[in-house]
Structure 1
């Protein structure tokens, strides 16, 4: 019987690293989407007020 605890720890570390990267990129994408959806109405309101154009 061999000791595989080091291999198991390495596998868990790899899984956690992949999950962490996925969560990070997902959060960045969500943040960009939210920022874009908030900026669009603000820019539209500013353009409507200054140029009397309907969005």
Structure 2
């Protein structure tokens, strides 16, 4: 059975290469707001589910 991580947030800019995945909602919002404010870019945030990361072999 695969475990799922919930409340993972994908933040991405539509005008440059800024992108990040955050497990903390507040951090994701802070990054989103800071990038929009500092760079005047359009940024979106999406809550996603993803499989838990695999440990290195």
TM-score (normalizing by structure 2): 0.28
Structure with a larger share of its residues in helix: 1
TM-score (normalizing by structure 1): 0.29
Q: Which has the higher contact order (CA 8 A, sep 6+)?
A: 2
Structure with a larger share of its residues in strand: 2
